[in-house]
């Protein structure tokens, strides 16, 4: 209550002139003066309003002041309202005793001394106002407390809600979620831990978490956990955990520390299958590597064997060829027609075998030889090759066109001579008899390579065979005029590979072929 607000003062007396007199005295206090002409009326007022003080006339007809006072005191709301009894001097003795027994706070005799009455009432008014103030303040304080309390409650409800939601994620997640303390114990684990490792939650929380880690991974895990407690996040870490059945599982996890709470939030996943697959792949890779090494070894041995066989067979073959030719030339008569025919066949087969051995030797040499690579001027190299093939070119009435200023490549001249000798030789060979061979050689520059094209207008190659013709002894055409050993294109491929290059072909049956060899480009001059 602010001090400006007026306090109620109840004046109870059956005589109007007395009331008037009281009003005259108390009017200057500036408070609300309420009159009651009887005890009953006074009680009615007290039911409606609060009063700072009651001035109660003792002797009233009907309900006198004492009865009124005792009724006032019975109501809890008014039991402490100060009452000043007003009585005449005659009744003093009696009245004073009775009045105090009814809880009067003061007593005044008529005629009242105005200043004394005023001063006393003013004290009660002041007291009342102070009390009101205190009550209002405490009401406000209580309201504020209640408000604060309400807000705290709302916060708690929100938190609980969030917690419940989080817990739902926690319990439904298929991944392993956990909260551990900096003390190294799990504080909370979701059900996936139990499903994965087999321990009940209580056991997981009861032992230091390092206990569950495979002994070989403990040092690393301790280090990582230490880092977490110092505030750094674990991006990814893998370790093995023991299961309750004695086996172990690989877990891959990330974790973040919350130093203020002394907690680490862990998100883990069972990666055992992935680890097993990795191990299997590693094992297979290792096996594969081993097999490749073995095969390379075998290949080397075979090539060495091939070389020595080809080499060693040529001697006896030459002597067989020599004697067969001698038979044909010098013993014609003794042999007769049939014998001569047989001897000629030996000579032809011997020649074929000699070519085969020579090709195989070239192939083997290509495999085994140490090659020193250097820039090669293709124009002059190809002139050489064409020169070597001049007899066949003339015989076939072929034209060989070499594009001027071919790009230089990095290579090895004698290997390149083998490569292009075979390609141009094939281009001359694989034409039908009605067509005059036309061969064109050109280059196409790549980023750091050069593609050399050898194009012909020959019989062409069906797409389904284009892949295999570079294999050893692969031959598509074997009719008359297409003699060969099936080694030529194998030499082309092996040669290109030894020079760090590749080979290929584009062709259509009856429309000619375009063979290409891609080689490292020589630095431009």
* Of residues 217 and 456, the one with the C-beta less far from ligand ADP: 456
For residues 471 and 464, what is the distance between their CA atoms, to the nearest angstrom?
14
Encode 211-276 in three state secondary structure: HHECHHHHHHHHHHHHHHHCCCCEEEEEEEEECCCCCEEEEEEEEEEECCCCEEEEEEEECHHHHH
What gap in Å lies between CA 84 and CA 128, rounded to an integer? 14
- Nearer to ligand ADP by C-beta: 82 or 437? 437
Least distance in angstroms from the C-beta of 461 to ligand ADP: 5
Is 283 or 477 the residue whose CB approaches ligand ADP more closely? 477
Sheet with 438-445, strands from edge to edge, namely: 399-402, 438-445, 449-455, 513-520, 502-507
On the question of a cis peptide bond just before residue 111, with omega within 30 degrees of 0, the verdict is yes
Minimum Å distance from CB 424 to ligand ADP? 9
- 19: Cβ contacts below 8 Å, ≥ 6 apart: 11, 13, 35, 37
The Cα–Cα gap between 250 and 238 comes to: 7
Q: How far is the CB of 456 from ligand ADP (least distance, A)?
A: 5
Q: How many C-beta neighbours within 10 Å does residue 356 have? A: 18
Residue nearest to ligand ADP (CB): 484
* Minimum CB distance to ligand ADP smaller for 260 or for 434: 434
Q: How many residues does the chain have?
A: 525
Minimum CB separation of residue 363 from ligand ADP in Å reads 10
Which CB atom, from 268 or from 357, has the smaller least distance to ligand ADP?
357
Using N-to-C axis directions, what is the helix angle for 413-429 and 378-388, rounded to 10°?
A: 50
Smallest Cα–Cα separation from 60: which of 26, 16, 92? 16
Provide, rounded to whole angstroms, the least separation between the CB of residue 366 and ligand ADP: 14
Task: Scan for tokens 């284009």, then name that residue.
Answer: 466
Side-chain-side CA neighbours of residue 35 (13 Å):
15
Minimum distance of ligand ADP from residue 396's CB (angstroms): 13
Cβ-based nearer residue to ligand ADP, 25 or 487: 487
CA quadruple 195, 198, 201, 203: dihedral, nearest 10: -170
Q: Which residues contact 226 (CB under 8 A, 6 or more apart)?
A: none
Tell me how far apart the terminal alpha carbons of the chain are, to the nearest angstrom. Answer: 107
Smallest gap from residue 342 Cβ to ligand ADP (A): 26
Nearest to 228 by CA among 178, 177, 263: 263
Q: Kindly state the smallest distance separating residue 477's Cβ from ligand ADP, in Å.
A: 4
Site for ligand ADP, rule CB under 6 A = 422, 426-427, 430, 456, 458-461, 469, 474-477, 484-490, 513
Min dist. Cβ of residue 478 to ligand ADP (A): 7
């Amino acid at each position: 209550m602010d001090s400006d607000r007026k306090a109620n003062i109840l004046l109870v007396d059956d005589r109007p002139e007395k009331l008037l007199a009281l009003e005259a005295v108390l009017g200057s206090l500036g408070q609300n003066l309420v009159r009651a002409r009887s005890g009953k009326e006074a009680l009615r007022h007290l039911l409606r309003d609060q009063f700072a003080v009651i001035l109660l006339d003792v002797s009233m007809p009907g309900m006198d002041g004492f009865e009124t006072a005792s009724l006032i005191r019975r109501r809890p709301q008014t039991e402490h309202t100060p009452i000043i009894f007003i009585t005449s001097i005659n009744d003093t003795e009696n009245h004073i005793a009775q009045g105090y027994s009814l809880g009067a706070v003061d007593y005044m005799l008529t005629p009242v001394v105005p200043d004394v009455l005023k001063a006393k009432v003013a004290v009660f008014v002041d007291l009342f106002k102070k009390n009101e103030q205190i009550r209002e303040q405490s009401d406000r304080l209580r309201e504020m407390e209640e408000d604060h309390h309400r807000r705290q409650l709302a916060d708690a409800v929100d938190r609980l809600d969030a917690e419940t939601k989080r817990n739902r994620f926690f319990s439904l997640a298929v991944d392993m979620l956990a909260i551990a303390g900096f003390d190294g114990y799990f504080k909370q684990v979701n059900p996936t831990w139990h499903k994965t490792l087999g321990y009940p939650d209580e056991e997981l929380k009861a032992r230091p978490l390092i206990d569950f880690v495979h002994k070989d991974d403990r040092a690393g895990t301790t280090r990582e956990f230490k880092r977490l407690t110092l505030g750094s996040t674990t991006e990814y870490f893998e370790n093995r955990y023991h299961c309750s059945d004695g086996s172990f599982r690989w877990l891959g996890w990330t974790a973040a520390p919350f130093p203020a709470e002394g907690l680490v939030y862990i998100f883990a996943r069972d990666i055992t299958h992935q680890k097993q697959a990795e191990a299997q792949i590693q094992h297979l890779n290792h096996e594969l590597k081993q097999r490749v090494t073995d095969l390379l070894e075998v290949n080397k041995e075979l090539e060495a064997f091939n070389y020595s066989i080809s080499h060693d067979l040529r001697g006896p073959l030459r002597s067989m060829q020599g004697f067969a030719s001698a038979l044909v030339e010098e013993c014609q008569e003794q042999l007769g027609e049939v014998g001569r025919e047989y001897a000629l066949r030996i000579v032809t087969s011997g020649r074929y075998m000699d070519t085969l051995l020579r090709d195989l030797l070239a192939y083997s040499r290509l495999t085994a030889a140490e090659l020193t690579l250097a820039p090669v001027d293709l124009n002059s190299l190809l002139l050489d090759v064409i020169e070597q093939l001049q007899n066949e070119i003339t015989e076939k009435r072929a034209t060989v066109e070499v594009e001027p200023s071919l790009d230089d490549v990095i290579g090895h001249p004698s290997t390149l001579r083998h490569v292009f000798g075979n390609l141009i030789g094939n281009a001359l060979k694989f034409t039908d008899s009605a067509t005059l061979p036309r061969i064109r050689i050109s280059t196409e520059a790549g980023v750091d390579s050069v593609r050399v094209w050898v194009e012909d207008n020959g019989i062409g190659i069906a797409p389904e065979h284009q892949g295999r013709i570079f294999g050893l002894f692969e031959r598509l055409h074997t009719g008359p005029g297409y003699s060969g050993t099936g080694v030529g294109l194998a030499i082309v491929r092996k040669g290109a590979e030894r020079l760090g290059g590749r080979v290929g072909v584009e062709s259509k049956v009856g429309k000619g072929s375009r063979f290409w060899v891609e080689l490292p480009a020589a630095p431009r001059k």
